[in-house]
A and B are shown apart, each in its own frame.
Chain A
Amino acid sequence: MHELSIALSILDMVDEEAQRRGDVGIEAIHLKLGLLSGVVKEALLSAYELASEQTRFAACPLVIEDVPVSVYCSNCNAERSIRSVQCFCCVECGMPASEVVHGLELQIWALELAE
């Protein structure tokens, strides 16, 4: 379980970003979390709650957007969904495909600033 260290990194990065913008208040943190990121959403949310306690982010929610897996299918010559993470096959044509396009994300993509 490395979700606590991930949560701490998120807080550090957001804190830095807030300072950079003139110590602005942060009202929410939006995170993109890929299904193949190796991070478990529920574990990250509880780790975040723990890590943000008694910090300036205690009341600032971490909003997680799940990013499903998509691959490049050479047969369709297009980005496609897969059947499941247990079966890396194009949902359209059924061809095996392992070139991951989305699903690895672990990214703070936006912040809600207080004005």
Chain B
Amino acid sequence: MTTTPRIVEVRQNVLKHNDEVAHALRSRFQEAGVFVVSLVSSPGSGKTTFLERALTMLRQQCRPAALVGDLATDNDAQRLARSQTPVKQITTGSLCHLEAAMVDRTLEGWDLKELDILLIENVGNLVCPASYDLGEDLRLVLLSVTEGEDKPLKYPTIFNSADVAIITKMDLAEVVEFDRAAARANIEAVRPGIQVFELSAKTGQGMDELLAYLQEKSAVRSPAS
């Protein structure tokens, strides 16, 4: 008797488990009325400075909190503590990206109803985080002026997966001869129509516009209470 292989279709998404957890998180966030924003970037894009400034400013208007995927130094943790908002670190081990289950686990102990906006800082990596849904409402990709205008062309997948692109460290734009038009054209090429913000978390330039945009998005999402 000869054996003939039989092909059966199974159509199973490999990240099915992550997608299910993310889906459940998204429903929980919606129910509790928390607007969730994730941040992806390369290391050194100025994420922590951005996060500190954003939390400090948001605190004047609502109840923000943050989950932080990788703190390079203790200094980072102290800086975030200065914002006087709830901040928790997600333990990733050696993982190069966050997964929905880690977010779920880290949220334990927090009453989501006490929060209005949750910022989730992913691990500094422009490749791996692209595949993992975290249940967020918006994904922000950060690009600093010091990283070069062609970064979006080198990492099109993550830029394409983002909802908003943020050019950070604009205070250094002149010094590094940042080509603003080229950077914007490259972002637009890999993600046509994406909203782009230019800001400096150091000087505060452009922060108001971005935070107003987030508040507006969050208002549209939440059902009137």
A→B interface (CB under 8 Å) = 1-2, 5-6, 9-10, 13, 17, 21, 27-28, 30-31, 36-39, 85-89, 96-98, 100, 106-115
A107 touches B190 (CB 8 A): no
Kindly state whether residue B108 has any CB partner on chain A within 8 Å.
no
Q: Which of B9, B17, B97, B129 contacts A109 (CB 8 A)?
A: B9
B194 touches A1 (CB 8 A): no
Q: Which of A87, A88, A113 contacts B8 (CB 8 A)?
A: A113
Kindly state whether residue B105 has any CB partner on chain A within 8 Å.
no
Q: A35: nearest residue on chain B (CB-CB)?
A: B157
A86 touches B156 (CB 8 A): yes
User: Nearest chain B CB to A108's CB is how many angstroms away?
Assistant: 5
Within 8 A of A (CB), among B178-195: 188-194
B12 touches A1 (CB 8 A): no
B97 touches A2 (CB 8 A): yes
A13 touches B192 (CB 8 A): no
Binding site secondary structure of chain B: mixed
| C-alpha spacing A107/B44, complex, angstroms | 33
A106 touches B153 (CB 8 A): no
User: Nearest chain A CB to B186's CB is how many angstroms away?
Assistant: 8
B8 touches A111 (CB 8 A): yes
A106 touches B9 (CB 8 A): no
Known: A1-B96, A113-B5, A115-B3. A87 touches B189 (CB 8 A): yes
Give the residues in chain B near A10, CB-CB below 8 Å: 14
The 8 closest A-B pairs by CB, nearest first: A96-B192, A38-B130, A38-B131, A112-B5, A85-B156, A98-B192, A2-B128, A27-B5
Give the residues in chain A near B8, CB-CB below 8 Å: 21, 110-111, 113
Q: A28: nearest residue on chain B (CB-CB)?
A: B5
Give the residues in chain B near A86, CB-CB below 8 Å: 153, 156, 189-190
Give the residues in chain A near B3, CB-CB below 8 Å: 114-115
14 contacts between A and B (CB under 8 A): A2-B95, A17-B10, A21-B8, A39-B131, A85-B157, A86-B156, A86-B190, A88-B160, A89-B192, A96-B192, A110-B7, A110-B10, A112-B5, A113-B5
Q: A97: nearest residue on chain B (CB-CB)?
A: B192
| C-alpha spacing A10/B15, complex, angstroms | 9
| C-alpha spacing A17/B96, complex, angstroms | 28
| C-alpha spacing A97/B193, complex, angstroms | 8
B12 touches A108 (CB 8 A): yes
Q: A2: nearest residue on chain B (CB-CB)?
A: B128
Kindly state whether residue B73 has any CB partner on chain A within 8 Å.
no
A109 touches B5 (CB 8 A): no
Known: A107-B11, A110-B9. A88 touches B96 (CB 8 A): no
